[in-house]
Every structure is written in C-alpha cells, then in structure tokens.
Chain A
C-alpha cells in the first residue's frame, strides 16, 4: 500500500504572531517552525500502518520553499520513506490542494491534518478529494483498514460519527488517531540520505488574494474580584460586561 502524508510547515504553537512590511508579511524573526500538529498525527498513524502492513510505503509531501526542508527531514526521521517538496509558497487552500492533487494519484491513502494552524482553512482534504474524485473524511480520530474498506471515527459537533469508505481515500486527521512520534537517533541519521525530490508547482490562476494581516485589539487589564465576594462578579457580568 502507498500512503501519502501531506505536511504543513507552521509556527510552533507557542509562537508570538507578528507582521512586518505594513502588515503584509509574517514576521519569522525568532519563530520556530514545526510540522503542523494535526499533520504530525497523520504522519504518526501512517507510520503505524506501515509497521503493521508489510510492503507499505510512506511518502511525505510539502508545498513550501527551501526553508521547509528541515521540517521535511524531521518527517523522514520519524519514519517516512521519501519526500516530495513542491517548490512554492503555500498561499491558499486551493493552490495547495491543486499541488497535492497533482502528486496524489496512485496513492491508496492520502493523509493530512484537519487544518494547518497558520491559515486554519480546514478544507485542503475536501478539495483534494473533490479534485481526485475520491472520498474525503475529516476530522478523523480513528482510522483502521479492513481490506480496502477504511473504518473511521470522525468528530462532529457535540459527539462523533462512525464512517466507512473504500480506498483510495483522503483523510484529515486529529488526535487521538495516534500518538505523536519523536524521531530517534537512527531515524535522524537515516533521514539525511532518504530521497527528497523537489518539483516545480503546477501553475494556476489565483482565486483569492491576501491583501494584509492584522492583530486583534489588545485586551484591557483583568479586574480581580475577591473569592469572598462572588456575588460582585455576577453583578459585574450582568451590568458591566452585559453577558448574563
């Protein structure tokens, strides 16, 4: 079986977000980049499936410029066999989905995170599924294979849903589909020599254009209330904050 895992290269979850050049560019200064946490779950599940099913290969794909290679190498160190980097900035969901769909043909299972934690669109899996004409399911919390049937559990508002579909399939993943994996020394050594193919993007006409970025207005200072005077909190919530 062939598994493709699509990973995003995103700021660490603790990053302070800032923009430069009049709010037109993300400030990478001091920011550490990681494999998207949801993508990391997808990768971990792919590696588990590889370990459990002889002959399974895992390829990682990233749409990104050269600076994403350490992130891709990390995915190889975790256990992927080879990698593809589509040499382009991942500007929007449609663009990224178009690039993934170009390379995803021939894979049985295309896994990725439910969303990237930078632009949070949460739709690349659905778009790739649509482009390839195969089912897509997200956010998947559990994924098991039974022959060519994929049995999944998907989170919905206020609960979960059991879903089945046949391969080939696209899944957007989230916890607790698998435990995050940490690369070991052997993995890190072997990742250096695993194949990483760089390909040029398919050209597309942009359907959206990001004009600028903005930070939310700063929050006012917290008002502290004594634990002996809880009634005051209730009064303030009613009359001052007007939320009760």
Chain B
C-alpha cells in the first residue's frame, strides 16, 4: 500500500519542497506514488523517479495549470482511493495545504500541517506551533491520514530509482472550479522566499527603498531570496510577499541574514526555524543579537558591500 505524494509544479518545474515530501514518504518505508497535475516539463518525471517515486500519476489537464484548489482536492481524493493509499503527504503551500484539508474532510482522514519530522510509532507527528515557538506531538488516529510538511521536515535526496509514468484523469465538474483565477502577479526568475536556502532581509534600518540595490546585490551573490520586516512592506518599500514574521512569511533557510532589523518578537517568529542567523545592526543592544548565531555591529551601508566582496572573493 503506497503512500501518495502530491507533487506541486511551478512553471512546469517540480517545487523543491515537493522533493522533500517525496523524501518524507520514501523514508516512511512503504512505496511512493507521486501525483502531479497540469503541464509538466518532460525532464521532471525523471527527477521524481530519482527522488523516490516508484510510480507517477500525471493528470495532464490544462485547467490544473492554475491552482484550482477544489479541483485538486477532488483529484487527490480519487487518487487516494484508486491507489488504495491510506496516507497522503505533501508540502505546505498556498495550494497544497487547503487542498489537503479538503481531502481530509472528503476521506475522513486525520490531518496535520506544519509537520517537522517523520512520524513516530503509533503515527505520532511533531508539528511546529505558536509560530515556531513550540512543538506539539499529535497522534493521527484515523485510518486515513493527510500530512502537510513544513520545509526541512525531510532532506530531499536522490535515491536513484526510476518511476513508471501513468496518465491519470478524473472527471471534473463545474463545482470543482468554484473559484475563478483572473490574474497572477509573480516575481519571475527569483528564488521563492518560502523555499530559499539563503535569505537576505532588510528592515527599517535600510532607510528607504532606494537603498535596496546593495541588498539585492548581496542576495544575488549568495543566490538568496530577499525578505523584509513588516514596516518595510507596510511602507511599500518592498512587496508584501517579502514580509517575514508572525503575520508574514515563515522562512526556514540554512542561512538568514538580517540587516537593519531590530528583532521584535513578531519578526523572530518568522525566522526561528533558520539553521543559522546572522545579524547586522548598528545598535549593539538590538534584541536580534540574542537570537543570532553571528553578529556584526556596524552600519549597513558600510558592511553590506564589504560582505558582498568577501563572498565574491571566496568563490
């Protein structure tokens, strides 16, 4: 009885967090069937096999190129039945999580999101709660289970397999398209903030949007995504989707570099899952230093260019 993994694609490419979901399911031990919807680049199927899928169901329905959440839920529910899968695993996302919640209702499954580790015996999962300030251990009691994992719950690893690709289709009705997407505005080519391994964030200490050039240069050198504090997006210095914290994006990179951010508890709530935190602030008493691994007391406009140079020199 295989575990079903919902694999999300963005512009035809498999999302990195979905590879983590594959790794998670693979490590659970039973076989892995991946399901992927919409238009998918041909080379991606090979990737899914390499990362642990034994079988890939491809739903080549162009209507699913849009995140039609209700339709996704219908397809996933049917696939769980057809594949006789008791467990559905997927990565937390603005599409996956609500679709998964609907699947849980349709299949009478136990549901958990923000899961950070493989299940312990008895199907007890560890969840991140209180915006990263604590964990809970939750037993999933029903026979069917839906698990939405947080970034880094499992390490995406090639396991060297190859998958059987199966064309799969589910009849969808109008009610599956009960929301109509009329437009999408997306930063193109950029590294997505929630998935980034390195994040460079700026706060009010950056003084104004016109100074973001040096921060972006640093980010580019590091192949990092850019983030910001809430006041920065409130003042429209940066777009809202870059706002990190309690009321914004929760990031979980290997490295988070905070520049000119004081370290208010609401900001820290969004970054406390980072592996390593570097704080650059001109005020030695800024609270962020207490939450940091490395700190530099200094002026952002002096330190940022030096840091960019030092990284270029290392490469």
Task: Select which of A126, A160, A206, A233 is within 8 A of B185 by beta carbon.
Answer: A160
Task: Tell me the minimal C-beta distance from B288 to chain A in angstroms.
Answer: 9
A125 is an interface residue with CB less than 8 A from chain B: yes
Task: Tell me the minimal C-beta distance from B94 to chain A in angstroms.
Answer: 5
Task: Contacts A17-B133, A158-B193, A230-B306 given; indicate if A209 touches B139 (C-beta within 8 A).
Answer: yes
Main secondary structure of the interface of A (DSSP, over half): mixed
Is A13 touching B296 in the complex (CB atoms < 8 A)? no
Size of the chain A interface, CB-CB below 8 angstroms: 77
Task: Select which of B113, B266, B290, B314 is within 8 A of A234 by beta carbon.
Answer: B314
Task: Contacts A119-B136, A208-B139 given; indicate if A155 touches B184 (C-beta within 8 A).
Answer: no
Task: Select which of A162, A208, A227 is within 8 A of B141 by beta carbon.
Answer: A208
Q: Quick check: which of A52-60, A77-85, A136-144 contacts chain B, the rest being far away?
A: A136-144
CA distance A230 to B296 in the complex (A): 8
Q: Quick check: which of A103-111, A182-190, A215-223 contacts chain B, the rest being far away?
A: A215-223
Is A165 touching B294 in the complex (CB atoms < 8 A)? no
Task: Select which of B94, B126, B131, B297 is within 8 A of A156 by beta carbon.
Answer: B94
B269 is an interface residue with CB less than 8 A from chain A: yes
Task: Select which of B73, B114, B139, B192 is within 8 A of A120 by beta carbon.
Answer: B114
Task: Select which of B70, B127, B192 is within 8 A of A158 by beta carbon.
Answer: B192
Size of the chain B interface, CB-CB below 8 angstroms: 97
Is B307 touching A234 in the complex (CB atoms < 8 A)? yes
Q: Which residues of B contact A227 (CB under 8 A)?
A: 296-299, 302-303, 306
Is A161 touching B183 in the complex (CB atoms < 8 A)? yes
B195 is an interface residue with CB less than 8 A from chain A: yes
Main secondary structure of the interface of B (DSSP, over half): mixed
B178 is an interface residue with CB less than 8 A from chain A: yes
Is B293 touching A130 in the complex (CB atoms < 8 A)? no
B109 is an interface residue with CB less than 8 A from chain A: yes
B241 is an interface residue with CB less than 8 A from chain A: yes
Is B97 touching A122 in the complex (CB atoms < 8 A)? yes
A-B contact pairs, 15 of them (CB 8 A): A13-B266, A14-B266, A120-B129, A135-B178, A138-B98, A141-B240, A156-B186, A158-B190, A207-B109, A208-B138, A208-B139, A208-B140, A213-B137, A230-B296, A238-B314
Interface residues of A (CB under 8 A from B): 11, 13-14, 17, 19, 37-38, 92-94, 97, 117-123, 125-127, 129-131, 133-139, 141, 154-165, 174-176, 206-216, 219-220, 222-227, 230-231, 233-238, 241, 243-244
